[in-house]
Amino acid sequence: MNSNTLLLITDMQYDFCKPEGALYVRGAEKDVTRLSQFISKFESQIDHIILTLDHHHVIDISHPVFWEDSKGNPPEPFTIINSENVQQGDWRPRFEKEKAVKYIQNLEMQGEFPHTIWPEHCIIGSKGASVVDEIMEPVKKWARKGNFYEVTTKGTNPLTEHFGVLMANIPMNDSPETQFNTMLAEKLQKFDNILIAGEAKSHCVVCRMYLDLRPLPYQSTRMPD
């Protein structure tokens, strides 16, 4: 590796990386081992580390408790909810009805990820939201060499998904933490090399590669107030 290298570690958290985690990604424990070994082997060539953390409230638009059917039952995890389901009354939001319905519509117009109900995961303050020890130990060892790492959280707004760290799937005008993070994007562009590792390739990692690292300026569709 050349100098001026950033390691961007994506959501290497208990709920994703441990088989007993709430939203375990199959094979993640092997990724953890490989990344841990990589950090230890190349620690002298890594100039900066940023860890992203998925953080959610219990009441979240992607969690079962947010939705109910006509009998008041919550959807099973991995249920897909679309605007047609909502219009027909198959599923209805229990909270912030107008904003939730508009969110589903905007998400479909965006045409990227369908709205998926996940098991409750990475709850703020819980064990599931913490970085696994196998990653934190080599990061701390790297830091003891005189380095500083950063932690960036995402997903704290309960009315929008936030796969990529730089911007929520549907940004909201009244929620700055969901909008495009220009400061972080400019910081990323200062590095000659950005190494990306983490979970999961299907969502948070691929979303970051496709959306977040495209050249500025970035134009986005925003949720109306």
| pLDDT score, position 72 | 96
Beta-strand (E) ranges in the chain?
5-10, 48-54, 67-68, 80-81, 92-93, 115-116, 149-154, 193-198
Q: What is the rounded distance in angstroms from the CA atom of residue 139 to the CA atom of residue 62?
A: 31
**Lookup result for tokens 């500083």:** 148
| pLDDT score, position 213 | 44
Q: What is the rounded distance in angstroms from the CA atom of residue 114 to the CA atom of residue 10?
A: 21
| pLDDT score, position 60 | 97
The answer, yes or no, to whether residue 107 has pLDDT greater than 50, is: yes
Lowest pLDDT segment from 74-78, 148-152, 171-175: 171-175
With CA atoms as reference, report the closest residue to 50 among 208, 161, 157: 208
| pLDDT score, position 50 | 94
| pLDDT score, position 210 | 39
| pLDDT score, position 183 | 85
| pLDDT score, position 168 | 87
User: What are 54's strand-pairing partners?
Assistant: 154
* 3-state SS assignment for residue 211: helix
CA angle 223, 205, 203 (to 5 degrees): 55
Q: What is the rounded distance in angstroms from the CA atom of residue 107 to the CA atom of residue 101?
A: 10
Q: Averaged over 13-40, what is the pLDDT?
A: 94
Q: What is the pLDDT of residues 118-153, one digit of tens each?
A: 999 999 999 999 999 999 999 999 999 999 999 999
Q: In what order do the strands lie in the sheet with 5-10?
A: 149-154, 48-54, 5-10, 193-198
